[in-house]
Structure 1
């Protein structure tokens, strides 16, 4: 198995939403608008079928259609990572084979959920996936949804797996992030990416390699600029951009269910911008009409902040080779 050329990964990797038609099929024209929007802003990779992409809730047919379309539209311009999280390890392996055929560059794996597993079983699952997947594997720590954390000692136990790429951490726990960084320092080819976008700059300051930020679907240039400013140590610019991130984060407080509020907010903002419909996969509803004006106000607020005077910034950060 050959690893992607741009290893270790560095930069902003948006977790793409999955645009849906009223019949809950893939809306390919909307997906093309979205991908061209984020690539035009200079993002460094794409993450398909993650949490923001509603991956575990989509039918297998729509999952595969999303991957095939994303790879075709991207056409090798940036690496495409695909979430293969499932309650069934066998299905994760099967999907990894299908997405390899579609042209993906790597798969992303969170612990199987529903039946709790211990850390020893998790190591066994990762080793089996790594052995049977035709693509390299990035681990995904999302304990709020999977109900099991990938503990630092488990990361250490997996340091000898040659086709693992590193970790995406969406725990929001900076103490855990520091521990993971300490382990990953022993594998210089591994990447440590942060999920919570409000912590992007702070995680970079403690050794993070970038972010998988849901808001980068909406304002991808904001997160590319923040990554550049944080890696370049341009403190004033980080503070200016952080205000925009915080304003955007107001979207995620509109929904009543914290588990899906980010997805609802991101899709509602994309609908406001004319990129795709706000629809989520059943049975989860989109934000209701009472939030329409709030969504528009928040989007306008970020745009207004972007028009404020810009401090000198760094440029050109990308993946390391």
Structure 2
């Protein structure tokens, strides 16, 4: 039975699940099963596949389809499954959405088509057309660093009037914008506001946001669930203690090397060290080599989060 996201809106920690691969042509099915069980055991409130952390633009359509079907089968209704359908082609997005519906996904998530930057009117027209043709609820995804299009407050407010637009995942990293969204939707408890950068998650929840799409939850799901719960309860002392762990994770693991994908390299290396997946990144990205993995290993086992949650 599908969850009614208007009556029971999404809240909490919905990790952007890493896509585990054996190589560019094969999913790591055993690793994917292990990761899903790891996330659910950690208490996450949903799972988001084919997002930025899921290397959505770098894996083939064949693998995307396989991952949608496999993930929905493995989750088996225990938590909502959100599927990223971002693409430069409207029809490809709709095709992924149709498969997601058939597989049993709960909702879909879409960022603006990338490559060409969109004007505000084009953005509104595009998302209205997409929402008109979907059979699953749609969450908007603001990711200006990757799409070259920043969603304006006006665009989000206009699109929120569409009956099939259920919320926003904001990865702009702009606190002023997100706080403006919280204020704008203060009388719309049915419209979900989730933040991407995990370093901001607790602060946005304290301000009235609904949770986070926190990549670090692939490694330490319970840390981010505990941090969300502390913020949701307004327990500032516990928020401070857990926030320090989250910041240490970001500082030690995500910033190694001068790569645009340093976050993802560090994340997948950490998962590999914990026995989850092979560490493989889809072409054109490449995983850390043995020496770099050893540096990550030493840093990982020194983290306060590792000592408490592993």
Cα deviation 1:286-305 (Å, max 9, x = unaligned)? 12223222211222123566
Determine the structure 2 residue equivalent to 1:296: 297
Determine the structure 1 residue equivalent to 2:186: 185
Determine the structure 2 residue equivalent to 1:57: 58
Do the aligned residues in 2 keep the contact of 1:38 with 1:216 (CA within 8 Å)? yes
Determine the structure 2 residue equivalent to 1:196: 197
For the residue of structure 2 that corresponds to 1:15, the secondary structure is: coil
Pair 65,19 (structure 1): closer, same or farther in 2 beyond 3 Å = same
d(CA) in 1 for partners of 2:302, 2:248? 7
Determine the structure 2 residue equivalent to 1:318: none
For the residue of structure 1 that corresponds to 2:166, the secondary structure is: strand
Do the aligned residues in 1 keep the contact of 2:3 with 2:106 (CA within 8 Å)? no
Determine the structure 2 residue equivalent to 1:165: 166
d(CA) in 2 for partners of 1:271, 1:151? 38
Determine the structure 1 residue equivalent to 2:149: 148
Cα deviation 1:275-316 (Å, max 9, x = unaligned)? 1011110011012223222211222123566449xxxxxxxx
Match of 1:255 among 249, 254, 257: 257
- Compute the displacement of 1:255 (Å): 3.4
For the residue of structure 2 that corresponds to 1:55, the secondary structure is: coil
d(CA) in 1 for partners of 2:80, 2:92? 23
Alignment of structure 1 residues 55-134 onto 2, 5 Å = 55-134=56-135
Do the aligned residues in 1 keep the contact of 2:15 with 2:44 (CA within 8 Å)? yes
- Taking structure 2 as the reference length, the TM-score comes to 0.95
What are the ranges of 5 or more consecutive residues in structure 2 without an aligned counterpart? Answer: none
Determine the structure 2 residue equivalent to 1:317: none
Do the aligned residues in 1 keep the contact of 2:198 with 2:212 (CA within 8 Å)? yes
Determine the structure 2 residue equivalent to 1:233: 234
What are the ranges of 5 or more consecutive residues in structure 1 without an aligned counterpart? Answer: 309-321
Alignment of structure 1 residues 295-314 onto 2, 5 Å = 295-303=296-304, 306-307=307-308
d(CA) in 1 for partners of 2:223, 2:16? 15
Q: After TM superposition, which residue ranges in structure 1, 4 or more long, deviate above 6 angstroms? A: none
- Taking structure 1 as the reference length, the TM-score comes to 0.91
Do the aligned residues in 2 keep the contact of 1:85 with 1:110 (CA within 8 Å)? yes
- When structure 1 is superposed on structure 2, of 143-152 and 292-301 the one drifting more is 292-301
Do the aligned residues in 1 keep the contact of 2:6 with 2:190 (CA within 8 Å)? no
Determine the structure 2 residue equivalent to 1:14: 15
Pair 276,58 (structure 1): closer, same or farther in 2 beyond 3 Å = same
Do the aligned residues in 2 keep the contact of 1:24 with 1:281 (CA within 8 Å)? no
Alignment of structure 1 residues 188-227 onto 2, 5 Å = 188-227=189-228
- Compute the displacement of 1:6 (Å): 6.7
Alignment of structure 1 residues 22-33 onto 2, 5 Å = 22-33=23-34
Do the aligned residues in 2 keep the contact of 1:192 with 1:209 (CA within 8 Å)? yes
d(CA) in 1 for partners of 2:52, 2:15? 11
